[in-house]
Each structure stands twice: as C-alpha cells, then as structure tokens.
Structure 1
C-alpha cells in the first residue's frame, strides 16, 4: 500500500503593519518565539521550535527578505519528502494592502485541524501586531 500523500493548502490573512516588521516575526528566532511557539533556537538555517517539553526541528530552505520564508520539518527532510511550510508576504499593487499567505501540507484527514491550528497561530500573530 502506498504511503498517504499530503495535500497542499494555502491560507490568506490581511495584515495591517509594515512588511519589515511582519517579516521579522516570520523569519527570526525571537520573532517566531513571540507567536509561533514557546522558544526557538537556531544555528544557521537549522531551527529548533520548542513547545513546552516538545521540540521540532526544521531547516530554513528558502528566504527572500520581505517576500517569503520557507521551512522544511526535519522528518520530511529525512524521508526525502518535498513538503514545506511557507510564510509569503503579498502586497496588492493597487491598494497596497498587505496579506500574509501561509502555505503548508497536511494529510487529508488532518486538513481541517491544520487549518484551525494556523488560524489560531496567525490570530496570535495578528493580535501581537495589533492588526486584528
């Protein structure tokens, strides 16, 4: 039996703050520790996200300042999977409205739960930014 494949999903959140400020919260250990998890350690492109007694390692596999940052979980890296999660900043050329896109992958039976988790996490970020 073939291993179940994860499906890609994208979520969009309007944000009312500057791109440089938002990017700091998405791409730096201190910024991520403010809303994504309890603490973050990093060495170069290797990040360890800490939630209570749980640690999860990821590698930053792509980054363009004020545009996007992409991570791959260590277990996906080791399994040779191409899954990732990404924070992408998109600015409307006409209105200059800023949106944060979260791009992630989840198994079909975990899709709604994953979306709810991101909604909660990004809700914390927007609250922190005073953008909700």
Structure 2
C-alpha cells in the first residue's frame, strides 16, 4: 500500500483573486481546467470529477470566498476513511510584488512526485489559458 504524501506548489497567475475564485470552487469553473468534467449533486453536495472516463467523488469540506477551497475525496477503502486524500487550492496576494498566487496542496498516494509536479504544471497552464493569465 502506498503511503500518502503532501505535495505543495505555488504558481503566479496574472488575474485577480475575484476572477480566479470561481475557477477553484465551482463545478463549472473546475471543469474548464482541472478535470474533463465536474458535476455536483446538490442534495448530497458531492462533486464528481471525471478524468479519462473515471469518476472520483469528493466533498467540498472547507472554503472561504476569494481565499481557498478544499475538496476531500470520498473513501474507497478503510485506509482512505481513516486518512482521506484531499486537494486544496488557495489564492494568495503578495502585497510587495502585487502578484496573485495559487497555492496547491495535494495529499494523496501518488508515488511519482516528478510526474505529479508535471501534472500540476499542465493543469495550471490550462488555468492560465482559461483566465488569460
């Protein structure tokens, strides 16, 4: 069984926090850059992320408008239930440089950190293209 690790990365984005927030928090925004498709079940508040015809269910467990959103994946086994995988997308403004950054927290059992870095680099490139930043 693979041990879970926390991956973090920071990316500068040339867009305002208010413009970026819907892209990190809403199903429609996330589906434009993060996953092939994202749907939300309003009754259970469950997000379904689709990548390569596979679905992964998650709940938004925390968010603060114009600051961050955290999604926790629903457990697929007992180990996941005790130690759930999650990702958090945090928007930060640097007063000194007047720059906006998106900070990534990805806690998962992804074993190849170089591949995970490449994956996030590609996702953020897609986000930049989407928002023009």
Question: TM-score when scaled to structure 1?
Answer: 0.87
> For residues 110 and 32 of structure 2, what CA distance do their matches in structure 1 show?
29
User: Do residues 46 (structure 1) and 46 (structure 2) align?
Assistant: yes
Divergent runs of 4+, >4 A: none
> For residues 27 and 107 of structure 2, what CA distance do their matches in structure 1 show?
22
3-state SS, counterpart of residue 48 of structure 1: strand
The CA deviation at 1:70 is 0.3
Partner residue in 2 for 1:10: 8
Q: Contact 2:110–2:116 at 8 Å: present in 1 too?
A: no
The farther-off stretch of 29-38 and 41-50 is 41-50
User: Equivalent residues in 2 for 1:80-91 (5 A)?
Assistant: 80-91=82-93
> For residues 112 and 122 of structure 1, what CA distance do their matches in structure 2 show?
15
The CA deviation at 1:103 is 0.7
Q: Contact 2:73–2:84 at 8 Å: present in 1 too?
A: no
Higher helix share: 1
Partner residue in 2 for 1:73: 73
In structure 2, stretches of 5+ residues that fail to align are: none
Partner residue in 2 for 1:94: 96
